[in-house]
Chain A
């Protein structure tokens, strides 16, 4: 992949990277760091990407990993009661699903974000999260059940 194409596609998928990183980390500073690290990591590893058409999926997998690395050593984790103040801005008032997803536990949240927002397949999510496909399926199933319950409560 040529550098200009790489740059163009990074810019194209910046919103996706940030949304996924924010969804996992739940704060702007860390999400922004994760996006930055993802760009550097992607450039370092671009020669390993054999199928350019898989760039977006591959980038989302790296983003998930970088975000989880930050999450693992996170010192800026936000207490749940303050989360509302730190929600990102949306174009309109329509962010009902996002609000509910943010209340899920990490294991369900990351699977839901990758599946419903980033449209990765079960197999791609399994690879991104380094868990078996069966685990992804069960986390998604549980995540959907929780979403249904929470959405119906609203």
Chain B
């Protein structure tokens, strides 16, 4: 028998379904206007190829209908492109690894406004650039001056200073020519005038792959991975990139180093340059099956690893391990030096047993301050916010609070003031606090800084133009100490990728990097990311345009 609550719910559904609202005509006009606006591609900002196709159609329509001298000049400019030139644009579109344009930094509001004006001048007054856009064959080639385009990732590299009219016109001109070529080539292919340039596309694609492999071999040959890690890196807090992963590691966790990103797979750690598409093996000296759950690189280049190492079946030690997928694992903290040598193995499992009488746990967060204190967060360790160890890995004390606890995956990091900050929470409140490692307590507390209902905050790291950047359920936040509220600079629904399940870290320049995998493989109980389906998204967290 249905209960009264069910009946009420069904009644409400029926009532809602029966009600038919009449929309004012102005709503339909608004929809028409907005769809028309899309077709005219007024918002150049982040143009997708799909949008480019639409814009191309509009351009051709304009060219075929207009009679003014200026438009005639634009038409002549487009028609002046020879077939080879148009084919180059066409092939470029098909061989780009990304379906959308990217910019090395966001356009400022002033630049966007000027670009809109210049686009009108370009279309209606035949105001053209003196030069054409510079093409570069790798991001490292960009000198930092002028505007350049890197076709492999469809990225416009823009100067740090405000762009000149000439530079803006070069971008506009490039986009118009590319759109025109796309449309004209498609039309000719459709009409059978020319065939689809499959061979050129295959050749170009092969050249790109060869170029990437050659670059990889060159770096391996030097044997100077640390230097290579920062070589060619464009440290620009405003630079936004979308980069498909071309490496081969099925990784489950990422962490930011000082000049690189670490990727952790099963019993293996890779390192990749910031902005690179590929990764290289960094460490695989684990003797048994090992899961890397936390990583932190200190200022000296030492890498701290929170590990769960598979236990032997006949291991009957006092610590019976944590069971994951039917297998027992023991918790360790390993420290690697910059030369990738294991300099310390800290038996966290025994420490937990001795100090708290509990079995192995999972280290979820690690951070090391300038005094050499090592702060470790262990999951399911109720009432203990953090363990504090010395440089040798010896246990000193725990950090506790009578009022606050923390999420097992709550953020932990070092602020611009050099102090360690941790996420803290109560049942209904959320915030961060600085940690006093000597007293083993929280120091300065900043509560209620994110919206009510926020489940937890992760990534507590310095922002570029703010004290902190956080990952939260609602999106990416920036925060300045002492302010009432954090600012949601990237709402979750505006993220370039999935929000749930995505891997993320904060770079030293304040950017957030998402590593999103769109496909996983299943091997028994193990779920592995499929490397070729992983994409890296670099998002700026600048609050000033």
Do A96 and B15 touch across chains, with their CB atoms under 8 A apart? yes
A140 to chain B, nearest CB (A): 9
Residues of B contacting A81 with CB < 8 Å?
none
Residues of A contacting B43 with CB < 8 Å?
40, 44
B299 within 8 A of A: no
Residues of B contacting A135 with CB < 8 Å?
453
Residue of B nearest to A129 (CB): B453
A3 to chain B, nearest CB (A): 6
B163 to chain A, nearest CB (A): 22
Contact of B453 among A41, A43, A92, A132 (CB under 8 A): A132
The 0/1 profile, CB within 8 Å of B marked 1, for residues 72-102 of chain A is 0000000000000000111110111110000
B66 within 8 A of A: no
A142 within 8 A of B: no
The 0/1 profile, CB within 8 Å of B marked 1, for residues 92-114 of chain A is 10111110000000000000000
* The 10 nearest A-B residue pairs measured at CB: A131-B453, A91-B20, A97-B15, A89-B22, A39-B34, A116-B16, A130-B474, A117-B16, A36-B34, A36-B30
Task: Mark B residues whose CB is within 8 Å of A.
Answer: 5, 8-9, 12-13, 15-16, 18-24, 26-28, 30-31, 33-35, 37-38, 43, 45-46, 48, 50-51, 53-54, 99-100, 451, 453, 455, 473-475, 491-497, 518
Residues of B contacting A98 with CB < 8 Å?
19, 21
The 0/1 profile, CB within 8 Å of B marked 1, for residues 44-55 of chain A is 111110100000
Residue of B nearest to A69 (CB): B491
The secondary structure that dominates the A interface is helix
Bound form: Cα–Cα A131–B16 in Å: 24
Contact of A65 among B16, B37, B493 (CB under 8 A): B493
Bound form: Cα–Cα A75–B24 in Å: 22
B494 to chain A, nearest CB (A): 7
Do A50 and B31 touch across chains, with their CB atoms under 8 A apart? no
Residues of A contacting B27 with CB < 8 Å?
14, 18, 31-32, 35
B28 to chain A, nearest CB (A): 7
Do A39 and B494 touch across chains, with their CB atoms under 8 A apart? no
Residue of B nearest to A91 (CB): B20
Residues of B contacting A65 with CB < 8 Å?
491, 493
B35 to chain A, nearest CB (A): 6
Bound form: Cα–Cα A31–B493 in Å: 19
Do B16 and A97 touch across chains, with their CB atoms under 8 A apart? yes
A96 to chain B, nearest CB (A): 7
Bound form: Cα–Cα A144–B43 in Å: 42
Do A35 and B492 touch across chains, with their CB atoms under 8 A apart? no
Residues of B contacting A15 with CB < 8 Å?
21, 23
Residues of B contacting A48 with CB < 8 Å?
495-497
Do A45 and B494 touch across chains, with their CB atoms under 8 A apart? yes
Do B35 and A10 touch across chains, with their CB atoms under 8 A apart? yes
Do B20 and A90 touch across chains, with their CB atoms under 8 A apart? yes
Residue of A nearest to B20 (CB): A91
Bound form: Cα–Cα A10–B15 in Å: 25
A147 within 8 A of B: yes
Bound form: Cα–Cα A13–B27 in Å: 12
A62 within 8 A of B: yes
Contacts A/B (CB < 8 Å), 20 sampled: A3-B54, A14-B23, A14-B27, A19-B21, A39-B34, A44-B45, A44-B46, A45-B493, A48-B497, A90-B19, A90-B20, A92-B20, A94-B18, A97-B12, A97-B15, A98-B19, A116-B15, A130-B492, A132-B455, A144-B9
